Chains A and B, each alone.
Chain A
């Protein structure tokens, strides 16, 4: 009887210590699911979802505050991967959010007055300039979020669709037409 009690006590103590150690050793700061969701979002920081960036939206999804269908730049692919990650059913894209062609912001340098308002709006610091100096967009860093458009007092920023390039060209999904999708050559 006594041996049994002692054994169980010893076991409880040992496992208690083990668990205590593990919780200290493998302590995770913050909610890991938020990081995982954030990982799947396209990081345009555009705020079209109604949150102030991708991470706040990820937090909202994790807390169940928001649906997974509010990321317009991510489109259907993001909805599917989020559904996959969270074990939810995929839902169609929120109707208020129209899909957009991937674009880049371009500043008309003749019109720019150097007010720096767009610099402050850009979530990824992709606009280069200083007060009363002409501004320009670093094309390779622009996420096409359009957040720089409203603050511009002279409307000198426009969005230009990214042109189709050979480097980024993708094979289309095969049609049902047959073995080859190639167009017949012009004689």
Chain B
């Protein structure tokens, strides 16, 4: 691994940078929201915490409705390896557990924990701070990060502890901290680096120690000079560390994980694999700061920095927001909307999702609320026919053929589209941005991806049903066979017993004798009953007469009915 590192190490001042294919220069629109420092948002009256705020399995509930919770108390634990824990962002009462709209393009609801805050901000008992983390085993620190419910804060929300455990067969030589923040409008990482550079550096040290990596590169786009200066100051203050702040040219989407790795190391992450395969792990700067918080102060992830911006946001700014804060409440508490509001987007203008409602909670992965005016996000008009200009292919940062993908998605040819590496598409939106025919290309790719997943799921279900059906048919057949063989056996036994030629079998004789004995017993019992009924000892005269009469009648009918069929038979011919 050291051989791959050596070309970079000697002259960090003139570090060589690489380029990824394509990319776009977009208007920044970042100045609007960097005017004031990060301010903590006031305490909302109600917090809504979706059980799934991360990639992987939903968290498992640990609280019941009506329960009091303390700040930092774990209210849901990770269920399975790829999952994340959830903590109460403040003290209060669990008012309900039930479905609520969550930030998702579908606008659907999902199970959430609703907490009524009490304003006491009373902390739960926290694990001890680990200031001397460099003496502690990586596994212990990883467990701490897992406990803290840490997920990637750049937007994808992948559980960080999983990413920090690449396994013994994948040694990591480089840790990359992603401070590129390439998408227009978003400034939460920029402000975090400016104001909390020390925490970012401390987080880098923690992550370096956990991964056992040789060096850490912090990639920051050159449109954030204040952040770069702050990080460098913090680095100088921290002594000699294998950490370097690397200024990279501003080009969308350099903040994509694979793109940033390409720019900083010149290496490409192979298709269908993860950066750890080439010895690199990439984390967002916000994640690093949160990791420092978890390890150095024992605090779980209960808040994050969120950018409020856009022409329709009255006071664009960055706020430190408790996880689960309702977006509408936060916006109202931060100056509200301007009347020209046209659209509310969660995330940036290129990759964000349009929200159906602002009544959604802000989750761990929510980095930006963008309220745009009609002028800012004009309706592109109806999509026209593709003129095969190739502009999309020129700007694709993954060197895909967006046009081909578009044709196949439109034709629902989901086999061919995978031959053209649909799943390498990072949905950055460059192709749709440059398309002169305003074709919503990314929508087509997203459509194709979810259709393919659904097909795979159906296939799995069909295979399971087939196996179960085959097992059932086999079982029924086996039972039928068993029944038949039983019947055959019995038949053989019977024929052996009754056949006169083979009547000498000793078993047959014994059986016959037993049957005869049983029949004799029954006959004896019957006759005994007929002779002496049990309850005739104390009868009155009238009763005795009645009984006699009944007996006589019975005898009479027995004699009368038995010969009755005979005359009928005789009369027939």
- A interface, CB within 8 angstroms of B: 38, 41-45, 53-54, 77, 123-126, 141, 143, 164-166, 168-174, 176-187
Residues of A within 8 A of B432 (CB): 179
Given the contacts A164-B108, A180-B354, A173 and B447 also touching, CB distance less than 8 Å:
yes
B357 engages A185 (CB within 8 Å): yes
A contact residues around B458 at 8 Å (CB): 42
B329 at the interface (CB under 8 A from A): no
Q: CA–CA, A172 to B440, complex, Å?
A: 12
**A186 x B358 contact (CB < 8 A):** yes
Q: Smallest Cβ distance from B84 to chain A, in angstroms? A: 16
How many angstroms from the CA of A178 to the CA of B543 in the assembled complex? 102
Q: Are B469 and A179 in contact (CB under 8 A)?
A: no
Main SS of the interface on chain A?
loop
**Given A166-B110, A178-B383, A186-B358, also A45-B469 (CB < 8 A):** yes
- 13 pairs, A vs B, C-beta closer than 8 Å: A43-B465, A124-B465, A143-B461, A171-B447, A174-B383, A178-B380, A178-B438, A180-B354, A182-B105, A183-B354, A184-B343, A185-B341, A185-B355
Compute how far the CA of A124 lies from the CA of B344 in the bound complex, rounded to whole angstroms. Answer: 47
* Cβ contact within 8 Å between A170 and B454: yes
A58 to chain B, nearest CB (A): 11
Assuming the A-B contacts A178-B381, A179-B440, A182-B105, are A126 and B468 also in contact, with contact meaning beta carbons closer than 8 angstroms in the complex? yes
B495 within 8 A of A: no
The CA of A183 and the CA of B106, in the complex, are separated in Å by 10
Among the listed A53, A141, A171, which residue makes an inter-chain contact with B450, where contact means beta carbons less than 8 Å apart? Answer: A171
CB of B447 within 8 A of CB of A174, answer yes
Does B158 make an interface contact (CB < 8 A)? no
Q: B455 contacts which chain A residues (CB < 8 A)? A: 77
Contact B344 A141 (CB under 8 A): no
Contacts of A44 in B (CB 8 A): 465
List B contacts of A53 (CB < 8 A). 469
Interface centre among A54, A173, A187 (most CB of B within 10 A): A187
> Is the C-beta of B382 less than 8 angstroms from some C-beta in chain A?
yes
Q: Are B105 and A171 in contact (CB under 8 A)?
A: yes
A165 to B443, CA, bound (A): 20
Q: Given A77-B455, A141-B465, A180-B443, list of 7 further CB < 8 A pairs?
A: A124-B469, A166-B52, A169-B106, A178-B381, A182-B343, A183-B107, A185-B355
Interchain nearest-CB distance for A179 vs B (Å): 4
Does any Cβ of A come within 8 Å of B356's Cβ? yes
Interface presence of B472 (CB below 8 A): yes
A38-B355 contact in complex given A168-B457, A170-B447, A179-B380, C-beta closer than 8 Å? no
A104–B160 Cα distance when bound, in Å, is: 37
B456-479 vs A: 1/0 string, CB under 8 Å?
A: 011001111110110110000000
Binding site for A on B (CB under 8 A): 52, 102, 104-108, 110, 337, 341-345, 353-358, 371, 379-383, 432, 438, 440, 443-444, 446-447, 449-451, 453-455, 457-458, 461-466, 468-469, 471-472
User: Which residue of the partner chain, among A143, A168, A178, contacts B440 with CB atoms under 8 Å?
Assistant: A178
Residues of A within 8 A of B438 (CB): 178-179
CB B159 to nearest CB in A, in angstroms, measures 17
> Residue on B with the closest CB to A185?
B344
Shortest CB-to-CB span from B192 to chain A, Å, is: 26
A164 to B382, CA, bound (A): 29
Determine if A43 and B463 form an interchain contact, defined as CB atoms under 8 angstroms apart.
Answer: yes
Tally inter-chain residue pairs, CB-CB below 8 A: 117
Asked if B444 and A123 sit within 8 Å, CB to CB, the answer is no
Chain A CB within 10 A, most for which of B105, B356, B443: B443
Nearest residue, chain A, Cβ from B352: A182
Residues on the A chain within 8 Å of B380, using CB: 178-180
Bound-complex Cα distance A140 to B263 (A): 46
**Given A182-B355, A183-B356, CB of A42 within 8 Å of CB of B462:** yes
Contacts of A169 in B (CB 8 A): 104, 106, 108, 450
Most chain A CB inside 10 Å of its own CB: which residue of B337, B379, B438, B463:
B379
B341 and A123 contact, CB distance less than 8 A:
no
Q: Please name the 9 residue pairs, one residue from A and one from B, whose CB atoms are nearest each other, closest first.
A: A182-B354, A185-B344, A43-B465, A174-B443, A170-B450, A43-B462, A124-B468, A179-B380, A171-B446
The answer to whether B354 and A168 touch across the interface, beta carbons within 8 angstroms, is no
Q: What residues of B have a CB within 8 angstroms of the CB of A185 in the complex?
A: 341, 343-344, 354-358, 371
How distant is the Cα of A143 from the Cα of B342 in the complex, in angstroms? 44
A-chain residues with CB within 8 Å of residue B471 when the two chains form the complex:
125
Q: How far is the CB of B347 from chain A (nearest CB, A)?
A: 12
- Assess whether B444 is in contact with A174, with CB atoms less than 8 Å apart: yes
CB neighbours of A42 from chain B (8 A): 458, 462, 465
Nearest chain B CB to A145 CB, angstrom units: 9
Residues of A within 8 A of B464 (CB): 141
Q: Which residues of A contact B468 (CB under 8 A)?
A: 124-126, 141
For B465, list chain A residues within 8 Å (CB): 42-45, 124, 141, 143
Contact A172 B337 (CB under 8 A): no
CB-CB under 8 A from A168, the residues of chain B are: 454, 457
Of A38, A176, A177, A185, most B-chain CB atoms within 10 Å: A185
Contacts of A177 in B (CB 8 A): 382
